[in-house]
Amino acid sequence: MGKGARTRATILAAAAETACLAGFDGLNLQPLADKVGMTKSGLYAHFGSKEALQIATLEYAAELFQARVVAPAKTEGAGLPRLAGVFGRWLEWPANAALPGNCPFFAGVVEFDDAAGPVRERLVRLFRDFRAVVEQLVASAVRHGHLGAGTDPAQFAHELLALRYAHHWAQGFMHDPAADARTRAAFARLVGGRA
């Protein structure tokens, strides 16, 4: 790993932290350069444009998400245990990845929902891919008899995302101490209603 790649990794780690706090639009060059001890232009040379920096940061966060949320499922029992594990890690993955603030993907949703462009497309694809993963987990849980045969994986995934979103709101924005308990109760009801 050459020096350039090492510096790039340092930048992206700092960029991911910034994205959690200020969103992808808040990935301004000067403050980010100050954070890693570089000048703005020195940092800029690694990416060539702000948009490229945003996409690289998105990619970096996606790898982190994959490693912290999805990958550990391999060691869990197939079906519901795996689904519950992924959901639990999904709730707390920013903290587990040493990221401050909230999930950067949710920040991107608001920032890019009315702004077409490659960053938005990349983010949409990330969400679609993860939803597909969730749907497969749900289908597997159905096959194992952990969820009722009539369960629609797409509908279940939609409601699971709703819970994650509400948790983001209740904990990150409203600072509601009951956020965790509410989310867990809702998940239990979501699973229980299909058993």
Partner DNA sequence: GGGACAATAGCACGACCGGTCGGATCTAGA
Partner DNA sequence: TCTAGATCCGACCGGTCGTGCTATTGTCCC
Residue type, 72: P
CA distances from 129 to 62, 110, 135 (A): 11, 19, 10
Token look-up 């709703």 returns 162
In the set 60, 102, 142, 191, which binds a copy of itself (CB under 8 A)? 102
C-alpha 80/C-alpha 68 separation (Å) is: 18
Report the nearest approach of DNA to the CB of residue 56 (Å): 12
133 binds, among a copy of itself, DNA, none (CB under 5 to 8 A by kind): none
Q: Is 30 in the site for DNA (CB under 7 A)?
A: yes
Cβ atoms of residues 39 and 21 within 8 Å = no
Q: Is 170 in the site for a copy of itself (CB under 8 A)?
A: yes
Cβ atoms of residues 186 and 170 within 8 Å = no
C-alpha 102/C-alpha 111 separation (Å) is: 14
Report the nearest approach of a copy of itself to the CB of residue 34 (Å): 18
For the segment 39-98, give every residue that binds DNA (CB under 7 A): 39-46, 48-51
Report the nearest approach of DNA to the CB of residue 112 (Å): 15
Applying CB under 7 A, the residues found at the interface with DNA are 2-5, 7, 27-31, 33, 37-46, 48-51
